[in-house]
Copies of this chain bind each other. A is one copy, B any other.
Amino acid sequence: MTTSETNSLTLFEDAPLQLDGGAALSAITVAYEAYGSLAEDGGNAVLICHALTGDQYAAGPHPVTGKPGWWERIIGPGRLIDTDKYFVICSNVLGSCMGTTGPSSINPATDEPWGIDFPVITIRDMVRVQAALLDVLNIDKLLMVIGGSMGGMQVLEWLTTFPERIHSAAVLASAARHTAQNIAFHEVGRQAVMADPNWNQGRYYSSNTPPDKGLSVARMTAHITYLSEDALTQKFGRNLQEREEVTFGFDADFQVESYLRHQGSTFVDRFDANSYLYITRAMDYLDIPSRFGGRLADAFIGARAVRCCVISFTSDWLYPTVENKRIVHALNAAGVPVSFAEIETANGHDSFLLENPEMDMMLEGFLASAERTYAPKHGSTGSIGEQQ
């Protein structure tokens, strides 16, 4: 079958998940979407890792916004990641707010939403939950794991933590550690949320007055970093918003202002402010080299059998080519086969989400080659996909 359904499983009921931060978390609910059917030999499973404010709705309409899946352009029947051929899974990350356990979930100890009592998590914690999900889905090994931005960070943690469970890995527009500037922008966003009195130390769920204004400002700031100066100039320049002259006031005279305000105000309808704090924090804490004495290559020693692909975009100033190249050099140094491309585009960081024939061609070749070279050792029951 090629349709998708929202699925949800509860994991770590018997033994809690030991988090990097020291806390343990039990009974973690994971919401995921699955498309296509798992092959009998289990060799066609592809895991999609989503970005900061993404979710499991990679290839089907979003239940809140009604918009198409965020990667529907490349995932679907007959598309680049062909759901007629592959069993495609995308799960909402730990700490998020679209069904997977996060700060808006109920804390069993208090029967109230966790709020900021929720333990701080890491990208690796997210990946551990994904691995546990695959266990239940009876998937020993992935044909491919792929993600952009924070999704790419998860792919990198798959390479460091479960390399034996992946045949190939694609990292787009990402980084193995957050820089000072990355942290700085996230901190501004968090401070914007926390400055909103409605945030109320994270306890806003019962009053139903979430810190929309603060979260909106956070989103507006972040959104600038997802684009590029060139993209903003090409898209908006100094064009005015439905007027002939500036108004000499504080209305959204300029299209770029109107656009940003819209980005902010629509975001708050689909995202939880505390989840925003937790996930940005997880990204800030990402520093894979530091776990290996500063040598990123050592993080990938166990991944020599994994075929890798790294793609960066010229106008991405959030996770620029230099950060992506660090990953490539480390993979090379570790003896991991890796192909790399820097793609010329003005679309900035968001390029991985947008139409880009060069990216598609590279991914298509990479996936075809991964498939050709993959001989699954352990057959899977093949029943999971059909059971849906």
**Cβ-defined contact, B180 with A235, below 8 A:** yes
A162 at the interface (CB under 8 A from B): no
Give the Cβ gap from A85 to chain B, nearest Cβ, in Å. 41
List, in ascending order, chain B residues with CB within 8 A of A248's CB. Answer: 20-23, 119-120, 285
Interface residues of A in 162-202 (CB under 8 A from B): 177-181, 183-185, 187-188, 190-192, 194-197
A338 at the interface (CB under 8 A from B): no
Interface residues of A in 302-352 (CB under 8 A from B): 317
- CA of A177 to CA of B254 in the docked complex: distance in angstroms? 14
**Cβ-defined contact, A254 with B180, below 8 A:** yes
Instruction: Tell me the count of chain A residues lying within 8 A, CB to CB, of chain B.
Output: 56
Interface segment among A64-72, A93-101, A257-265: the answer is A257-265
List, in ascending order, chain B residues with CB within 8 A of A237's CB. Answer: 179-180
- CA of A23 to CA of B249 in the docked complex: distance in angstroms? 12
List, in ascending order, chain B residues with CB within 8 A of A181's CB. Answer: 224, 229, 232-233
Count of identical protomers in the assembly: 2
State the main secondary structure of chain A at its contact with B.
helix
List, in ascending order, chain B residues with CB within 8 A of A229's CB. Answer: 179-181, 317
Task: List the interface of chain A (C-beta within 8 A of B).
Answer: 20-23, 116, 119-120, 177-181, 183-185, 187-188, 190-192, 194-197, 213-214, 216-217, 220-221, 224, 229, 232-233, 235-238, 246, 248-250, 252, 254, 256-257, 260-261, 264, 277, 281, 284-285, 287, 290, 317
List, in ascending order, chain B residues with CB within 8 A of A197's CB. Answer: 197
Nearest chain B residue, comparing its CB with the CB of A280:
B250
- CA of A135 to CA of B236 in the docked complex: distance in angstroms? 41
**Cβ-defined contact, B238 with A116, below 8 A:** no
- Can you report 30 residue pairs joining A to B where beta carbons are below 8 Å apart? A20-B248, A23-B248, A120-B248, A120-B250, A177-B238, A178-B238, A180-B233, A180-B238, A180-B254, A183-B256, A183-B257, A184-B232, A187-B256, A187-B257, A187-B260, A188-B220, A188-B221, A190-B250, A191-B220, A191-B260, A192-B217, A194-B250, A195-B195, A195-B196, A195-B214, A195-B216, A197-B197, A221-B221, A246-B285, A250-B281
**Cβ-defined contact, A260 with B184, below 8 A:** yes
